[in-house]
Every structure is written in structure tokens, then in C-alpha cells.
Chains A and B, each alone.
Chain A
């Protein structure tokens, strides 16, 4: 008797599992029943989800604050972005919630989570990958975003200003001889910004000579010996603190002191001349609308005499 009962329970359980499985596999049917934009009055406003911190910055800059209904866990700029609903990141998308929200547009950075993106597309949602890797492609991505969201004029205006600012900065540093610089991504093991990284381009444009330009890839491990031998004049690093804005001078000094105390570092010019520059990591590495701010930060640190 007992055995029979448990058999029935198991059969039921398996049936239920199968049913769940079948329904879960068919998100497309589900979406067709629901019209996109539940309210007709609101259907004029675009509904946008941005899973990329840099794209969120672009959207806010284009004045699309009201349209943004969800952002990634890492979207922390501008401050208003923190109030939006969090939907994971480009790697860990909260798929069900994104589909449930039925946005018109989903912006992602990189297509590393391809299966999830396929499912979102299958639900009838437009997915746009904005993954700029150079300053020029940041400008292009802002234009593309403007086209997709009906903010063409704003986009052109922003890019125009950014280009002008970039031009000004480049003119200022153009007469200067490039100075050797190093960007520390991580300390143990020592990791730097290699030639394929966005940071490398910014440093080069700002009149710097990245000593790791002959390393491999975007963020390689870098030899301490080569660092000392190549003798950079400025040592850039993002401080590993939870909040850059509220970092005290004392904290900054202890971070610099830690760098100075590393074996052999006393031979490096940047350390001797106390030019360890702590940069806000998101300005330097986020390929969004603040890119020229990052360029300016690098240029000012490298060539303070022209500013």
C-alpha cells in the first residue's frame, strides 16, 4: 500500500515537472498573447532596459530617464540610475523579469549570455548590443542610440560637444612629448591595461606612452621586472575602495604608501616623484558619454603644465 502511494506521488511529480518544462520552453507563445505596452496612454513613451553601465549613462545624457524601466546591478551613474529596477548584468540577466516587463528595447554590453538574449528576442523584444571599444565607436554608439530612441538631435549635439572637447584636449597635449605611463588594474598578481584595452587608447590620446603596449590582450598580467625597467613617470591606478567619492585623503595616502613599499618600486620614477594617480575607475574604463572626462583626467595628470 505504502509502496503504491509513493509510486503515484512520483508519477505525479514527474508529470508536473514535464509540464513546467514544456511551458518554460515556450516563452514566445506567452508573449504573443500580451500586447507590448500594457497601457495605451503610455505606449508613446519608449520602454528601455539597459544592462550596460556605459549605455545607461548615455541614455540619461540623451534625456531618456523616464523611458528607462530597468538597469543592471552595476549601473551607478548618474545617481538616479540607482533608483531604477535592477535586472542583473550582461552575464547574469534576470530573464523572466526582463520578459515580464516587455520593454521595447534592451541594451546589452557584449553577447556573452547568448542563450538569454535569444529568449528575449524570441519574446519579441529588440536586443541591441552596444559594445564600443574605441573612443570613436563610443561616439557612434551614442548616435545609434539616438536613432533608435528618437533622440537624434540630442545625440548629434552631445557627440558634437564631445568631439570639440576631444579636439581641444588633443591640441593641448599635441606639442608635448609622450611620457611613459603605467595603469595598474590589479596588484597581486600585477595586472595592467594592455594594447587592446580602452584605457590604453585614452592614455595614448592624452599624450602618454603606455609601457605595457607590447603586452598581450586587454588586461594581461604584467612583469614587475619590465615595469621597473620601463620606468613609468606616472603610475595610474583605481583605488580599491567601495566608494570613490567618499575616499578620505588618509585612505588615499595609505593606498599610495602600499604601492611605494613594494619590492623594487623605489627605483620607478613615478614612485620617486610621488606621481601615483588614483583615478575613479568608472570614468577611465567605462566607454560611455563620460569618456572625454576620462581623457581629460589622464591628460591633466600627465601634462599639468598645459592646463
Chain B
């Protein structure tokens, strides 16, 4: 397939992402008109700044838009982008439609780390990041490296062993998490809220934390897109055509793990995005990873910005955990696409 033929998709998707983000930044719990919101954002851009008068807008409105809402939207986009890119690469590498960024034990490790930080009352902050974020990050790395060590035989990492080790380790960490929740039942609601994922109270420092891993990581995965295409045909065939299969798998695993750990540390566990967005995108743009990976990223970003906007406005000033909405909104849509694809066959 020629790459040229899919270019139109990106001509649609990129402006769509822009529109969704602009719409998201104009809606929220605070009573600020969309017009004022645009003015505030525009006034922070150099050169345009001089043309816009924001003197009639209160300082708190400016703060809300620039330091609360905008970083949150960008963070939601980055996390959605990262999880979907990782999801599509994992599905390709593991040749398993059930694969998602959390399949190799990442989420349960992260949840356990976060729960321990909550239960042990760790409230130190480092550069504006709480102990919960840090422990979630470490937990994710720890559980994934255990899975990797379990699955490795010599220099090879067989896919089946990897999946099984991921499930076993995940269950093990979940069991410890349940134990922690029973012992410290006072903190159960905080732990559950965390595991449902949320972008509440996130600022620019969180954006700065994840932007580099997401951009670099997705770049690295896209470099290996061609290898992923060959892996889909079969590991042996790929090996014969000159792909260093094991090396590619390890690179993808490490990059995916780091990206997922960063995403989880700023947002909690947001399920569904990394599983379903790759499937939906594949139905639209086809299975070529050179197109699929970037397309997934943009779609995932759009999807998560939309669901997060909904979660913070639908019963404002109360917020919903965004993880609840991703599945609630995404599952029916996915089933619809699945039925449509079946009928077309």
C-alpha cells in the first residue's frame, strides 16, 4: 500500500484534533464564556497578545483557563496519544487483538504503587509531583520488569510466555492491592478513585513531564513500524527478511513500558483507550503500522480529550473519573463498528 493514499486521513484528523481541543478549552465547570476563553488563550501567544484586550476579564478566570483547563486538555491529549500508540504497537508485536498497554502487568503494578503511597500517607512532593505519581511510576516499571524476566528464555522473549507471565504477575499484584485495601479500608475510596483515572488538578509540570517521553517514544515506535508489519506475517518470515526480531521486540517492550508508566503516573489507570482506539483506527486506515501508529495517536488524543471534557462538565461542579467514561462511551461505538465490519464482509 502506498503511503500517499492515506494522506487524506491525516488532513482530516489533525484539524479535527485542533477543533476538539479548542472546543474543550471553551467549556468547563467555571462560568467563563467561550469568547473570553479564546481571548485568554490568544492573549498568551506572543505577537497576537497586543491585539487582544483582556482587561475586562478577572484574574481568576485567566488562571482557570491558562493554569487549570489548558494543561489538563493537553495532558489528556498526550496520555490518549501515548496509550493508543503503545496499544497499537503491542497488538502488532504480540499478534493479539486483546493486547493493550496494560497487558504485561503495568496497570496492577502502578495501582499497587499508588495504593501504597496513599495508605502510607506519603505526602512528600518533588518538583510538584506527589508521592502517588512517583510510586505508580515505580510500580509500573517494577511489575513489567518482573514479567519480562519471567518470560525471557536466554535472549528470546516468546510471545505466549510474555502474555501468560503478564497475566500471572498482574493477578499477583492485584491480589496484594486487594490485601492492602482490606487492611486500610479507610483509604479504599481514594485508591478506587485513583485506579479509575482522572486528570483532576494537573498542571503544566505534568505536561512537561510526559511530553518528552511521549514524543520520543512514539518516534521510536514509528521507526520500527516496518518491522512490526513484517512481524504480523510471522516471526520466522520476519527473521528471514532481515528483521532482528528479538531486538525489535525488546526495544518495543521497553519503549512501551516507559510510555505507559509515564502516562499512568500522571493520570491513573485509564482503560479502554489503548485497547479499542487501535482497533477502531485499524478499521479506518488499515493495518499498515507506518500509518496506523500515528493515526492511533491522534485518534486516542481526540478521544481522551472529548471524554475528559465530558467527565468534567456533565454533572459540574462534580467530576467523574474519566476512566468510567472511556469505556461507557467507547464500548457501544466499538460494537457498532464491529457489526458494521461484519455486515460488509
Q: Let me know if B71 and A263 touch, CB within 8 A.
A: yes
| A263-B204 in contact (CB<8A) | yes
Question: Once bound together, how far apart are the Cα atoms of A190 and B319, in whole Å?
Answer: 9
| Residue pair B60, A226 in contact (C-beta under 8 Å) | no
Chain A proximity of B223: nearest CB distance (Å): 35
Contact A221 B198 (CB under 8 A): yes
Chain B residues within an 8 Å CB radius of A115: none
A89 within 8 A of B: yes
Q: Is B149 an interface residue (CB 8 A)?
A: no
**B185 part of interface (Cβ distance < 8 Å):** yes
Q: Out of A212, A225, A240, A261, which one reaches B64, CB within 8 Å?
A: A225
Are B318 and A221 touching (Cβ within 8 A)?
A: yes
Interface: A255 (CB within 8 A): yes
B201 touches A188 (CB 8 A): yes
- Give the shortest distance, in Å, between B244 (CB) and chain A (any CB): 42
Fill in one digit per residue for A222-233: 1 if any B CB lies within 8 Å of its CB, else 0. Answer: 111111111100
Residues of chain A lying within 8 A (CB to CB) of residue B71: 263
B156-202: which have CB < 8 Å to A?
182, 185-186, 189-190, 193-194, 198, 200-202
Say yes or no for A122: interface residue by CB 8 A criterion.
no
On chain B, the number of residues with a Cβ less than 8 Å from chain A's Cβ atoms is 41
In the bound complex, residues from chain B placing their C-beta under 8 Å from that of A241 are 121, 123
- Return the CB mask of A176-216 against B: 1 if under 8 Å, else 0: 00000000001111110010000000000000000010111
Q: Are B315 and A216 in contact, with the CB atoms below 8 A?
A: yes
Q: Is the CB of A267 within 8 A of B59?
A: yes
Beta-carbon contact of A215 and B317 below 8 Å: yes
Map CB proximity to B onto A244-275 as digits: 1 under 8 Å, 0 otherwise: 00000000000100100111101110000000
Contact (Cβ within 8 A) B125 A92: no
Within the complex, the shortest CB–CB distance from A77 to chain B, in Å, comes to: 14
Place the interface of chain A in its size category: 35 or more
Q: Does B123 lie within 8 Å of A74, measured CB to CB?
A: no
Is residue A13 within 8 Å, beta carbon to beta carbon, of the partner chain? no
Query: Across the two chains, which residue of chain B brings its CB closest to A89?
Result: B185
Q: Which residues of A contact B182 (CB under 8 A)?
A: 92
Residues of A within 8 A of B185 (CB): 89, 91-92
Residues of A within 8 A of B189 (CB): 186, 191, 219
- Is the Cβ of A225 less than 8 Å from the Cβ of B318? no
What residues of chain B lie closer than 8 Å to A261, measured between beta carbons?
A: 125, 128
Residue interface bits B73-101, CB-to-A below 8 A is 1, else 0: 00000000000000000000000000000
B109 on the A face (CB < 8 A): no
Neighbouring B residues of A37 by C-beta, 8 Å: none
- State in angstroms the CA–CA spacing of A189 and B123 once bound together: 14
Question: Nearest CB to that of B206 among chain A residues?
Answer: A263
Contact for B63 among A186, A191, A226, A267, CB less than 8 A: A267
Chain A: residues with CB nearer than 8 A to chain B? 74, 89, 91-92, 186-191, 194, 212, 214-217, 219-231, 239-242, 255, 258, 261-264, 266-268
Task: Kindly report which residue of chain B lies nearest to residue A186, judged by CB atoms.
Answer: B190
Partner pick for B68 among A186, A194, A239, A264, CB 8 A cutoff:
A264
Shortest distance from the beta carbon of B71 to any chain A beta carbon, whole Å: 7
Q: B residues within 8 A CB of A187?
A: 130, 201
Q: Output the nearest chain B residue to A188 by Cβ-Cβ distance.
A: B201
Contact A223 B317, CB 8 Å, known A242-B121, A263-B71, A264-B64:
yes
Contacts of B28 in A (CB 8 A): 223, 225
A222 touches B317 (CB 8 A): yes
**B202–chain A nearest beta-carbon distance, Å:** 8
B30 near A74: Cβ-Cβ < 8 Å? no
Question: Is B31 positioned at the interface, with any CB of A under 8 Å from its CB?
Answer: yes
Contact present for B123 and A258 (CB under 8 Å): yes
Contact of B321 among A189, A222, A239, A263 (CB under 8 A): A189
Which single residue of chain A is at the shortest CB-CB distance from B315? A216
Q: How far is the CA of A134 from the CA of B67 in the complex (A)?
A: 38
By Cβ-Cβ distance, the 5 closest A-B pairs, closest first, are A263-B203, A189-B200, A226-B317, A223-B29, A225-B30
Q: Which residues from 25 to 40 on chain B have a C-beta closer than 8 Å to any C-beta of chain A?
A: 28-32
| Given known contacts A223-B316, A267-B63, A228 and B68 CB-to-CB distance under 8 angstroms | yes
B194 / chain A contacts, CB cutoff of 8 Å = 188-189
Assess whether B140 is interfacial by the CB under 8 Å rule: no
Q: Is the Cβ of A191 less than 8 Å from the Cβ of B125?
A: no
17 A-B pairs whose Cβ atoms sit less than 8 Å apart in the complex = A186-B189, A188-B198, A189-B201, A191-B193, A215-B317, A221-B318, A223-B200, A223-B316, A223-B319, A224-B68, A224-B200, A225-B69, A228-B64, A229-B31, A261-B128, A263-B68, A264-B63
Is B132 at the interface (CB under 8 A from chain A)? yes
Q: Kindly state whether residue B320 has any CB partner on chain A within 8 Å.
A: yes
From 250 to 277 in chain B, residues with beta carbon under 8 angstroms from any chain A beta carbon are: none
A215 lies within 8 A of B318 (CB):
yes
CB within 8 A of B186: which of A74, A221, A225?
Answer: A74
Given contacts A91-B185, A225-B29, A240-B123, contact A220 B318 (CB under 8 A): yes
Is B249 engaged at the interface, CB distance under 8 Å to the other chain?
A: no
The CA of A190 and the CA of B123, in the complex, are separated in Å by: 15
A190-B200, A224-B200 in contact; A258/B125 too (CB < 8 A)?
A: yes
